[in-house]
């Protein structure tokens, strides 16, 4: 399964934020650190806040930080929160897609099983476990 660029950036934001959980980060500094568009990063931060993974604060001294300890945030939670039930093949679309093989095909069931196994594996890993202790951002 391929994650979107949006989710990739979100995971990197969380890893940077996990290095100092008491610090408030700004979108500008993280955009520079990760070499991504600040506009795009702002959307990532907004969605992470909607899922309850980040806390945001507006105004002077504002920014964002983790809402929970890094060991309490799993990769699976992040991927589910941002990717949702993404259609990895045509027949996964909410409208059923446009595939003439649907009535005779078992591919959807196999791919659904594989997707769930992938997410269950991500559920076993926290953001804290993805950090290299020797590397400080």
Q: How many structural domains compose the chain?
A: 1
Is 86 part of any domain? yes
The range of the structural domain enclosing residue 40 comes to: 5-130
Is 125 part of any domain? yes
Q: What is the pLDDT of residues 27-70, one digit of tens each?
A: 999 999 999 999 999 999 999 999 999 999 988 888 999 999 99
Is 112 part of any domain? yes
pLDDT of residue 93: 64
Is 43 part of any domain? yes
Q: Is the pTM of this model over 0.85?
A: no
CB proximity list for 94: less than 8 A, separation 6 or greater: 87
Is 137 part of any domain? no
Is 135 part of any domain? no
DSSP string, 11-22: HHHHHHHHT-TT
Please choose, from the candidates 13, 25, 9, the residue with its C-alpha nearest in 3D space to the C-alpha of residue 64: 25
């Amino acid at each position: 399964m391929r994650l979107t660029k949006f989710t990739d950036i979100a995971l990197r934001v969380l890893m940077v934020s996990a290095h100092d959980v008491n610090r408030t980060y700004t979108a500008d500094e993280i955009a520079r650190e990760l070499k991504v568009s600040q506009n795009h990063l702002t959307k990532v931060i907004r969605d992470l806040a909607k899922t309850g993974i980040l806390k945001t604060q507006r105004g002077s001294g504002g920014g964002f930080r983790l809402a929970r300890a890094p060991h309490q945030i799993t990769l699976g939670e992040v991927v589910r929160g941002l990717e949702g039930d993404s259609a990895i093949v045509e027949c996964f679309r909410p409208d059923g897609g446009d595939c003439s093989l649907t009535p005779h095909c078992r591919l959807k069931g196999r791919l659904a099983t594989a997707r769930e196994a992938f997410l269950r594996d991500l559920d076993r890993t926290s953001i804290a476990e993805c950090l290299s202790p020797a590397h400080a951002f």
